[in-house]
Amino acid sequence: MRDTVQAEVVMTFLVSEELSFRIPVELGYDSSDPYAVKFTFHLPGDAPVTWAFARELLLDGLSQPSGEGDVHIAPASSQHLSDVFIRLQVGGEGALFRAGAAPLVAFLDRTDRVAPLGEEHTVADFDYELAAALDSILAGNPEGQNAG
């Protein structure tokens, strides 16, 4: 059985020290990919952009600077849990967002009810997912897309 968790939060997109604006961000979790969370950013004038990264990275970033590569998450204050910074990097381009920790904690709590951290392997049906992907490929649909 496939379970999902959805939430929407408002984050501040920090363009520069002088310019920032608030944007809606959809948070998503799907038990078919139990190690990941997805954030879909709705930037004004652009198509939505979705980033997927480790759920554990989000959890770790609430209390300490975390992340290597394209996603970095760090608390805004070392004194108390209030806000976090989320930095997304693609090549030389980057975007910085500030989010309240409370809605992120609530979202993570809901994902933990679906798949407790450290027990993700018990939730995902990797054998089913692999069989479905192989069936799709053998049926001549190499993109793994189901027809119909």
CATH code of domain 4-138: 2.30.31.20
Domain segments of the chain as ranges: 4-138
Dihedral angle over CA of 129, 132, 138, 143, nearest 10: -70
Termini Cα distance of the chain: 21
Say which residues have a Cβ less than 8 Å from residue 51's Cβ, sequence separation at least 6.
Answer: 38, 39, 41, 71, 88
Q: How far is the C-alpha of 129 from the C-alpha of 73, rounded, in Å?
A: 30
Confidence of residue 147 (pLDDT cuts 50, 70, 90): very low
For 71-86, write each residue's pLDDT tens digit.
Answer: 999 999 877 778 999 9
Tokens of 39: 């954030």
CB 12 within 8 A of CB 40: no
The reported pTM is 0.79
- Give yes or no for residue 126 having a pLDDT over 60: no
CA distance 148 to 136: 13
